[in-house]
């Protein structure tokens, strides 16, 4: 049954793109966008077996750097490119073109054993600046809070910094005692193994070993991301160095097609169409 479904989807991709492709593509960047890209590439390559696509994560900043340096055809980014990054790429003859392929919520997560189910942006700010250090201060048990954050090369961190760390209007930083992780998966694993921990991940990384926490009384969901009532939502991007062509255009066209957007929803992201 699974093979029949893959074959059917592959036929839909071929019908959508109009012709088969041949060549190679390099894709680098965000670990948040990575699951969607992997699924899209799997389907696209099933329809285009002569295409070779290499994918690697490493964070949104690494994706931007690869686009600037000319070492990737597509950069995955869970944040917008910064003006300085756009200028550097343009100076190198690679004017970035942005495609928003899905929407996402950044979800604070705790261990399922933790009784806390909701926090405010102000409380999250206090926890991540080190001002709130015990779960009893936010309605939990009398236990130390173990703070887990993404590293600074992460687009997820940049969004968290913008919407939580600077929510008070101050340029606050994550306090030095926080444990930094290099990917959404690493954050999820660390929180799932420590009942005192708090972290944050993209919506697609929620699983039964994590407990998602509402923010300002709003639960992260497709609806609250689209109507912008959830305070920590964002767009998920891919960038190309100029207008995409050939295999890269075919892959992007598929990701933006109804079939590609359905895959985004199946993974746990929010379709833009």
Burial of 18: CB neighbours in 10 Å, binned 0-12, 13-18, 19+: exposed
pLDDT of residue 17: 46
- Nearest Cα neighbor of 37 from 51, 26, 47 is 26
- Class of the 2-103+235-267 domain? alpha beta
Q: What is the reported pLDDT for 153? A: 84
User: Cβ-count burial of 19 within 10 angstroms (0-12 exposed, 13-18 middle, 19+ buried)?
Assistant: exposed
The reply to whether domains 2-103+235-267 and 104-233 share a CATH topology is yes
Q: Which residues contact 57 (CB under 8 A, 6 or more apart)?
A: 28, 29, 30, 31, 34, 76, 183
SS3 readout for 60-110: HHHHHHHHHHCCCCEEEECCCCCHHHHHHHHHCCCCEEEEEEEEEEEEEEE
pLDDT at position 16 is 47
Return the CATH class of domain 104-233: alpha beta
**Parallel/antiparallel/unpaired status of strands 96-110 and 197-202:** antiparallel
So what's the pLDDT on residue 20? Answer: 59
pLDDT of residue 21: 58
Average pLDDT across each block of 10 residues of the chain; the chain has 273 residues. List them in order.
Answer: 45 48 86 94 95 93 96 96 97 97 96 97 97 98 97 90 88 93 95 98 92 97 90 95 96 97 92 88
**CA angle, 261 as apex, 80 and 157 as ends, to 5°?**
30
**What pLDDT score was predicted for residue 18?**
45
Q: Where are the domains of the chain?
A: 2-103+235-267, 104-233
- CA distance linking residue 11 with residue 43, whole number of Å: 10
Strand-strand pairing, 74-77 and 179-181 = unpaired
């Amino acid at each position: 049954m699974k093979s029949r479904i893959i074959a059917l989807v592959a036929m839909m991709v071929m019908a959508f793109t109009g012709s088969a492709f041949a060549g190679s593509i390099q894709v680098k960047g965000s670990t948040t966008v990575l699951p969607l890209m992997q699924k899209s590439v799997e389907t696209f390559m099933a329809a285009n077996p002569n295409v070779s696509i290499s994918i690697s994560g490493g964070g949104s900043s690494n994706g931007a750097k690869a686009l600037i340096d000319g070492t990737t055809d597509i950069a995955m980014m869970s944040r917008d490119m910064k003006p300085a990054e756009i200028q550097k790429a343009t100076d190198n003859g690679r004017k970035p073109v942005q495609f928003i392929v899905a929407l996402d919520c950044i979800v604070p997560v705790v261990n399922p054993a933790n009784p806390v189910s909701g926090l405010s942006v102000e409380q999250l700010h206090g926890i991540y600046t080190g001002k709130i250090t015990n779960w009893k201060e936010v309605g939990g048990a009398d236990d130390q809070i173990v703070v887990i954050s993404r590293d600074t090369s992460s687009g997820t961190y940049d969004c968290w910094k913008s919407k939580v760390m600077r929510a008070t209007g101050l340029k606050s930083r994550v306090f030095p005692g926080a444990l930094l992780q290099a990917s959404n998966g690493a954050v999820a694993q660390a929180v799932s193994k420590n009942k005192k921990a708090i972290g944050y991940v993209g919506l697609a990384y929620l699983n039964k070993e994590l407990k998602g926490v509402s923010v300002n009384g709003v639960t992260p969901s497709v609806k609250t991301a689209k109507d912008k009532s959830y305070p920590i939502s964002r767009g998920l991007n891919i960038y190309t160095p100029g207008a995409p062509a050939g295999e890269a255009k075919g892959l992007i066209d598929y990701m933006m097609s109804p079939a590609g957007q359905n895959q985004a929803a199946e993974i746990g992201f929010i379709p833009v169409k």
